[in-house]
A and B are shown apart, each in its own frame.
Chain A
Amino acid sequence: MIEGGVWKLGRDIDTDLIIAGRYCNISDPAELAKYVLEDLDPNFVKTFKPGDVIVADNNFGCGSSREVAPLTLKAAGVAAVVAPTFARIFYRNCINIGLPIFEILDVAKDFEKGQRISIDPGTGKVTNITTGVTFQAAPFPAFMQKIMDAGGLVAYAGEQLGGT
């Protein structure tokens, strides 16, 4: 069960905003986490509490394919991202590296910064604890669920190669 505070972001949050290109030669996730969402809100990193959840509007993660974008969010302690739609490369990167994401149509208008949210990753049930309103996330296709159950694409590929 995921439970935390809500961080409300708008639509079309691109991966340059999540982690700027100038930091993309950094490989250490903990170092990257210092600059998460810096160009959107320089204070984000100071006030965000690990375990909190981002609720955003359409097309979250658009732009560059940089996998350091979801890696940075994960390293910064983002427990999950909830949005109506995700840009496709960001979406598959999240599946592959294990950053929980939940697609819920029209979800952004029902959340405000500072509210509490709970998510049951098993069922996809999302609750705005502050208002009591509940939502159902779209289920993942069976193949993607299999990748997530294996612990990410690297573990899944290891299984395919018969590695132990």
Chain B
Amino acid sequence: MAMTMTEKILAAHAGLSEVHPGQIINAKVDLVLANELSAIVAIEEFSKIKGAKNVFDPHKIVIIPDHFTPNKDIQSAKVAKKVREFALEHNTLYYEVGRMGIEHVLLPEQGLVRPGQLVIGGDSHTCTYGALGMVATGVGSTDIAVAWALGEVWLKVPPTIRIEFKGKKKPWVSGKDMILYMIGRLGVDGAIYSAIEFCGEGIAELSIAERLTMANMVIEAGAKNGVFAVDAKTEAYVKAATNQPYTVYTSDPDAEYAQTIVYDMDDIEPQVAFPHLPSNTKPISQVGDVTINQVVIGSCTNGRIEDLRIAAGLLKGKKIHPRVRCIIIPGTQKVYLDAMKEGLLETFIQAECVVSTPTCGPCVGGHMGILADGERCVSTTNRNFVGRMGHVTSEIYLASPAVAAATALRGKLADPGQL
């Protein structure tokens, strides 16, 4: 039977020769990820599983305290402490503050996620890793607890939506703009319960960083996972990160898709998602006059070195607008170090931005840039829900690092091509 990449990877992990959309399978997982907020609940559930004393394989469990760390208050410190103790007791992979990064930036960088794998994570943006030709999806804490015990997860095989980007990027368009454009057309539930398979010339020309950005946000269209074919760029990226083996799966030419959608790259300009849904997108030429109080550049969506290079390129030798606070958050310690070596940190500081240690921080309304009532923030993050970054009346505008940096300079939503 002809199958898509997603179906082939799921079948292989369920020990089946084929699977069909809608089928429920028990699949063996290659890696189980949790952050401190999902782990704290999972630890409690794990303790309730009768017969579960040890985890199934400590080398396939990774715990990363990244959401409210470095601990923002006593409550968060207690959570981090309990999670740390569990990780040490069970000898799982664990990244402490100082080695830690934002989970979805860190795992690809460390080579822990590779083509052909099935990875689940107690974080909805676990879908990021699909950029590397694997199936990765977010689950809840009870799923994590049970996967810690059994090494398995129950999954419904999703139908696959094929999305083709035809043509080449226009200037200042990035993977972030392409995924915002897609979500703007599909809506926040347009791909509910489905897999999204990306293809086309517009995808082939993207860097791995941009593919990670795109896969990161498929959940914002309701998708279970997003997947990209493995090409020379993927293999070079993975081989640079690890010498561990991996498996390349490709969709059969006659595989069945729930639907195929084609977007023309000529129609895509830099995008901004207005409050309060990621689907509420406008092209930069139509955003109007929107003054901004804060800019955040970072997160699991856009906290990679490539993102910081783009922002620094626009900010170099300039000062940000006097009424704007600009917070730069490198995704990992390696990104931070590379940014330092390349002189990007100096550019940011000279431009009067603040540079933070890696953390999810403001994106999840935790710390390091919480908004007051009525404040507006342009953010390279992935969600602009009501109250997501602070006060219930604050507003978040989602955009690429280029649009965010241009906005920091102008003090209002700005087109990087018009500076």
Contact = CB atoms under 8 A, between A and B. Distances in A.
Chains A and B belong together in one complex: yes
Interface of A: 12, 14, 16-17, 20-22, 24-27, 39-40, 58-59, 62-68, 70-71, 85, 87-89, 92-93, 96-97, 141, 143-144, 147, 152-158, 160-164
Interface stretch (B109-117, B328-336, B349-357, B381-389): B381-389
B138 A25 contact: no
Given A66-B38, A85-B189, 16 more contacts: A14-B383, A17-B387, A21-B364, A24-B364, A25-B73, A25-B79, A62-B189, A63-B124, A66-B37, A88-B224, A89-B140, A152-B142, A154-B45, A161-B50, A162-B51, A163-B51
A21 B36 CA distance: 13
A70 B123 CA distance: 15
Nearest to A142: B24
B188 A62 contact: yes
Nearest to B141: A67
B93 interface: no
B67 interface: yes
Interface in B36-94: 37-38, 40-41, 44-45, 48-52, 67-68, 73, 75-76, 79
A53 B242 CA distance: 50
B297 interface: no
B146 A20 contact: no
Nearest to A147: B154
Give me the 4 closest cross-chain CB pairs, A-B, nearest first.
Answer: A163-B50, A163-B51, A161-B51, A158-B50
Contacts of B368: none
A157 B188 contact: no
Contacts of B383: 14, 16, 63-64
A65 B138 contact: yes
Contacts of B188: 12, 59, 62
Interface in B114-167: 122-124, 126, 138-143, 145-146, 149-150, 154, 156
19 contacts: A12-B188, A16-B385, A21-B364, A21-B366, A24-B37, A24-B68, A27-B40, A40-B386, A65-B123, A65-B124, A67-B41, A89-B124, A89-B139, A92-B143, A96-B143, A96-B146, A154-B49, A157-B49, A162-B51
A157 B26 CA distance: 12
Interface residues of B, number: 51
A143 B37 CA distance: 28
Contact of A67 (B142, B189, B224): B142
Given A21-B364, A21-B388, A163-B50, A65 B192 contact: no
A65 B127 CA distance: 12
B222 interface: yes
